[in-house]
């Protein structure tokens, strides 16, 4: 069930990216009156794909890694007491809000510095961002991407919401994260930089299936107290995403 939780958390946290890409590359093929409905259906089908993969992966794990390990679920309810508003607010602020923000800042600040260095430090008039993306490009092509897209997913490890801004920053060579709210403008930038229907579909698939964000992984480590399950939570969805993207790319290349 850990894999299912990862998939569902991905879907909720990445709805803006999924909806934007779906609107640009799927909904645009239909008339305006039904384009939003088609985009919604495509996102829903993607989530159903994630749930289907959950069942498949769970079955495989139960026959291999988890074979013979009994599973149990115990739910212990605490004693009922009259709520105390003051304590609720204090505990919620200290145990939840500040704790989560602290973990986010601890990862986001260094990563923000790395992104800035990648985009602004140049070697021979070429940014480090471009060098790294060119290195990743051959593998990314197998997944129907380019190197900038794959690098954006990697740099988006602290917060998946910054994947699209990193992609736009890379294409526009701005040196800072770009956050456009106009779907049409975003679509024009992506299409001008080689995005096709295949790119859009694979970006949606990999967005849903690739590794969880840093905060999620830290939570998994805290709850399981195991690096093994944390690494599994990182690797399992990522491998599934890579395989499926390569599969769709292969099928697309055969028929198109």
Tens-place pLDDT, residues 212-235: 887 778 878 887 888 888 898 899
What does the alpha-carbon distance between residue 20 and residue 105 come to, in Å, rounded to a whole number? Answer: 27
Question: Does pLDDT of 61 surpass 90?
Answer: no
- Is there a contact between 115 and 166 (Cβ–Cβ < 8 Å)? yes
Q: Is 93 a domain residue? A: no
Q: Is 201 a domain residue? A: yes
Q: Is 39 a domain residue? A: yes
- Burial annotation 140-174 (CB, 10 A radius, 16+ → b, else e): beebbbbbbbbbbbebbbbbbebbbbbbbbbbeee
Q: Is 78 a domain residue? A: no
Q: Is 75 a domain residue? A: no
**Torsion angles phi and psi, residue 70, rounded to 5:** -70, 145
- To the nearest whole number, what is the mean pLDDT of the chain? 82
Q: Helix 2-13 crosses helix 197-209 at what angle (to 10 degrees)?
A: 130
What does the alpha-carbon distance between residue 221 and residue 80 come to, in Å, rounded to a whole number? Answer: 30
Q: Is 86 a domain residue? A: no
Cα four-point dihedral sign 135, 141, 146, 151: negative
pLDDT tens by residue, 121-174 = 888 888 899 999 999 999 999 999 999 999 999 988 887 888 888 898 889 887
Q: Is 95 a domain residue? A: no
**Segment holding 126, helix H or strand E:** strand 126-127
Question: Does pLDDT of 236 surpass 70?
Answer: yes
Rg of the chain over CA atoms, in angstroms?
A: 20
Q: State the total domains in the chain.
A: 1
Report which of 155, 153, 154, 147 is spatially closest to residue 171, judged by C-alpha positions. 147
User: Residue 47's domain spans which residues?
Assistant: 2-57+102-255
What does the alpha-carbon distance between residue 144 and residue 167 come to, in Å, rounded to a whole number? Answer: 15
pLDDT confidence bin for 244, thresholds 50/70/90:
very high
- Is there a contact between 153 and 163 (Cβ–Cβ < 8 Å)? yes
Average pLDDT over residues 56-68: 77
Beta strands in 15-105, from DSSP E residues, in sequence order: none
């Amino acid at each position: 069930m850990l894999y299912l939780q990862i998939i569902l958390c991905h879907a909720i946290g990445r709805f803006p990216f999924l909806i934007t890409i779906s609107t640009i590359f799927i909904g645009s093929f239909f008339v305006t009156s039904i384009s939003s409905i088609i985009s919604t259906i495509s996102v829903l089908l993607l989530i159903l794909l994630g749930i289907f993969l959950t069942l498949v992966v769970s079955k495989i794990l139960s026959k291999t890694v988890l074979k013979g390990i009994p599973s149990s679920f115990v739910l212990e309810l605490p004693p009922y007491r009259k709520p105390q508003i003051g304590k609720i607010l204090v505990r919620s602020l200290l145990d939840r809000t500040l704790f989560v923000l602290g973990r986010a800042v601890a990862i986001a600040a260094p990563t923000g510095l790395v992104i800035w260095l990648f985009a602004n430090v140049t070697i021979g008039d070429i940014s480090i961002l471009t060098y790294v993306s060119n290195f990743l490009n051959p593998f990314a092509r197998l997944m129907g991407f380019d190197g900038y897209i794959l690098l954006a997913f990697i740099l988006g490890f602290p917060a998946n919401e910054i994947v699209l801004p990193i992609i736009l920053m890379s294409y526009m060579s701005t040196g800072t994260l770009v956050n456009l709210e106009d779907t049409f403008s975003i679509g024009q930038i992506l299409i001008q930089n080689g995005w096709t229907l295949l790119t859009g579909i694979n970006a949606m698939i990999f967005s849903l299936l690739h590794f969880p964000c840093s905060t999620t992984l830290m939570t998994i480590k805290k709850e399981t107290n195991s690096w093994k399950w944390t690494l599994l939570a990182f690797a399992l969805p990522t491998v599934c995403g890579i395989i499926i993207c390569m599969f769709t790319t292969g099928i697309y290349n055969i028929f198109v």
